């Protein structure tokens, strides 16, 4: 499946002249009955980075800014039958809907994108994307929220509260709440730095697990820990996130594969590492990740 000139210009025409086509595309999407595949796994491609202004991939600070290129890469990834679906902001989800690319796929809507990458208020991550009501209305399969925990930054507090509210509202409608808790601190220059030690990750996991009035529909999106015993902190289903590409695809695959062996881990949610591999071979990168997941399941 490729984004030909004809398909691209048809998308642009629909954007300009048929805004009602988006509502129709939401309504017409064929939904998959189960979140998990027949093998009990979930493999999603993440594409919500641009809505937070996070456009960089390795040395290219605007790699994800070209929308046609991004959509082309998403179409290639979604064409792999091992890919169960996509995690995206409303604009990207709607473009994929107009391209008929997400029938029989899981679609998770990204909820809080207000903590713009590099902004002074980055940790106060306001909900500027989907909300629970719209996820239900548009028949999506769940909502994802980012929760960066910085003890020294009061911006963590409103984000915590908003995430708890979203977890409760999604559970009320029986929809997955995918919470991504990441422990951060600031280095001497004030830059945000993720804490990757097991103790910090376990603390973040336990905080996220307790959000909302029920955890019945909560999933966690967690970076592959160096010490997978960090995942002993929860019974909730976990998907391993890809994170920023390291530049060493083999090392990334190995770290994901190790985490996938833990009992609570159900799958992968990977974005830039698969959509922008160093060699440019999106199909190959997706296939390698799919084989790692299959080997661990």
pLDDT at 297: 81
Q: What are phi and psi of 186, to 5 degrees?
A: -115, 135
pLDDT above 70 (res 131): yes
pLDDT above 90 (res 233): yes
pLDDT above 90 (res 119): yes
pLDDT above 70 (res 1): no
- 291 pLDDT tier (thresholds 50, 70, 90): very high
pLDDT at 244: 72
Choosing among 3.40.190.10, 3.40.50.1820, 3.20.20.70, 3.90.1640.10, the CATH entry for 5-296 is 3.20.20.70
- Rounded average pLDDT over 7-15: 97
Q: Which residues 6+ apart lie within 8 Å of 282 measured at CB?
A: 73, 76, 77, 274, 275, 276
pLDDT digits (tens, 9 = 90+) for 75-117: 999 999 999 999 999 999 999 999 999 999 999 999 999 999 9
- 242 pLDDT tier (thresholds 50, 70, 90): confident
- 2 pLDDT tier (thresholds 50, 70, 90): confident
Q: Is 280 left (phi over 0), alpha (psi -120 to 50) or beta?
A: left
Q: Which residues 6+ apart lie within 8 Å of 102 measured at CB?
A: 29, 78, 85, 86, 93, 96
pTM for the whole structure = 0.96
For residues 93 and 107, give the distance between their C-alpha atoms in angstroms, rounded to a whole number: 8
pLDDT digits (tens, 9 = 90+) for 134-185: 999 999 999 999 999 999 999 999 999 999 999 999 999 999 999 999 999 9
């Amino acid at each position: 499946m490729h984004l030909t000139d004809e398909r691209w210009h048809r998308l642009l025409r629909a954007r300009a002249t048929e805004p009602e086509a988006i509502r129709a595309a939401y309504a017409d999407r064929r939904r998959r009955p189960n979140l998990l595949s027949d093998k009990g796994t979930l493999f999603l491609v993440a594409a919500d980075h641009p809505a937070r202004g996070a456009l960089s991939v390795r040395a290219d600070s605007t790699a994800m800014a070209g929308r046609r290129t991004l959509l082309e890469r998403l179409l290639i990834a979604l064409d792999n039958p091992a890919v169960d679906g996509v995690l995206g902001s409303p604009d990207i989800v709607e473009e994929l809907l107009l391209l008929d690319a997400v029938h029989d796929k899981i679609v998770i809507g990204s909820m809080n994108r207000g903590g713009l990458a590099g902004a002074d208020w980055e940790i106060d991550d306001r909900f500027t994307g989907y909300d629970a009501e719209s996820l239900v209305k548009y028949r999506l399969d769940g909502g994802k929220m980012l929760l960066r925990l910085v003890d020294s930054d009061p911006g963590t507090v409103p984000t915590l509260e908003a995430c708890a509210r979203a977890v409760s509202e999604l559970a009320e409608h029986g929809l997955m709440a995918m919470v991504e808790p990441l422990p951060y601190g600031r280095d001497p220059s004030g830059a945000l730095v993720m804490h990757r030690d097991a103790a910090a990750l376990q603390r973040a996991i336990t905080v996220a697990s307790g959000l909302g009035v029920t955890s019945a529909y909560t999933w966690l999106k967690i970076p592959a820990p160096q010490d997978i015993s960090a995942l002993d902190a929860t019974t909730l289903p976990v998907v391993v996130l890809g994170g920023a590409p390291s530049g060493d695809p083999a090392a990334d695959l190995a770290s994901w594969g190790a985490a996938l062996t833990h009992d609570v881990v159900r799958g992968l949610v990977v974005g830039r590492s698969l959509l922008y591999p160093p060699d440019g071979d999106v199909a190959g990168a997706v296939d390698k990740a799919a084989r790692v997941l299959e080997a661990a399941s």
